Amino acid sequence: MSITVGRLALAQPLLNGSGTWDAEQAHRLFGEANPGLAGFVTKTITPEPRVGNPAPRIAPARQGLLNSIGLPGPGREAFLATLLPHLRTIVDGPIICSVGGFSLADYVDTVAALDDDPACAAIELNVSCPNVESGCASIGGDAGETERLTAAARRATTKPLFVKLSASVADIAVIAMAAEAGGADALVCVNTVKATAVDRRSGKSWFGGGGGGLSGASIRPVALHAVVACREATQLDIVGLGGVECADDVRDLVAAGASAVALGTALFRNPALACAITADLAS
């Protein structure tokens, strides 16, 4: 059942969440870069190379995972020169490039560079990462900033433009409308929910650096709310994600208004999950 999300055609409705799947490692270990997935969403690309936050970066939660990864990555140049070409040779289906940064120019420069690259099928603006000290979530937490950034990115590319939202906002509908006004083709709901873990003795953050985000089954009803609110507030297609673990979770998000659904944390337990869900959805 082939579908279209924000002008991007997909052979079936399952994707991965940015930062929750490494196509290179998967290809090396499992012999396939994106088994069961209609394409591949890259880890968020930042302008400069980033080491990411110090350890510890993860903590377990009841029915969830807390992370404070901090957007490690090779940076824009190495991504374009090395990683993206390699991904293009191993990934089955379209590659959606997730773009992050700390200023409007950070985003726009990356979007413009990707616009020239045929290996990139669509662009996802990550304005909702809670794990870096500045930027990202502070844009996605503000309707004006979101619209300004989306509009600037829109001017820099004709490729399908997705905007990934946070549920950690007072009214996600307002942010969604801003992305629509800025010219987005689709919304991605949701990123991790602002959360943290503390060391019980010191009261200090458990993490080595930055904020934390909650993912997994715990946030499934939060994602569902975000999808409903965005569907009601805009005409945009929606990629739904947050705690999806089985075919029924996919059906719930689709019923709520999502055109495609992405798997994140659940892939960590089962790298074959997309295949299993695809089989289930077909049966």
Ligand X SMILES: Cc1cc2nc3c(=O)[nH]c(=O)nc-3n(C[C@H](O)[C@H](O)[C@H](O)COP(=O)(O)OP(=O)(O)OC[C@H]3O[C@@H](n4cnc5c(N)ncnc54)[C@H](O)[C@@H]3O)c2cc1C
**Catalytic residue ranges:** 129
Owner of token pair 């289930």: 280
- Binding ligand FMN (rule: CB under 6 A), the pick from 43, 76, 154, 231 is 43
Q: How many CB atoms neighbour CB 61 within 10 A? A: 18
Q: What is the DSSP string of 228-261?
A: HHHHHH-S-EEEEESS--SHHHHHHHHHHT-SEE
Q: Which is nearer to other proteins, 62 or 201 (CB)?
A: 62
Tokens at 137, concatenated: 């979530």
CB of 19 vs ligand FMN, minimal distance in Å? 2
Letter for the amino acid at 34? N
- Residues found near ligand X in the complex (CB under 6 A): 56, 59-60, 197, 199-200, 206
- Binding ligand FMN (rule: CB under 6 A), the pick from 46, 53, 157, 192 is 192
CB of 199 vs a copy of itself, minimal distance in Å? 7
Give which of other proteins, a copy of itself, ligand FMN, none residue 85 binds (C-beta under 5 to 8 Å, depending on kind): none
Give which of other proteins, ligand X, ligand FMN, none residue 139 binds (C-beta under 5 to 8 Å, depending on kind): none
Owner of token pair 């969604």: 176
Q: Does 133 bind a copy of itself (CB under 8 A)?
A: no
CB of 62 vs ligand X, minimal distance in Å? 12
CA distance 171 to 183: 20
CB-based contact 215:21 (threshold 8 Å)? no
Q: Does 215 bind ligand FMN (CB under 6 A)?
A: yes
Q: How many CA atoms lie within 13 A of 89 on its CB side?
A: 6
CA distance 200 to 248: 37
Q: Which residues bind a copy of itself (CB under 8 A)?
A: 59, 61-64, 66, 137-138, 140-142, 166-171, 193-203, 205, 211-212, 214, 217-222, 224-225, 228, 243, 248, 251-252, 255-257
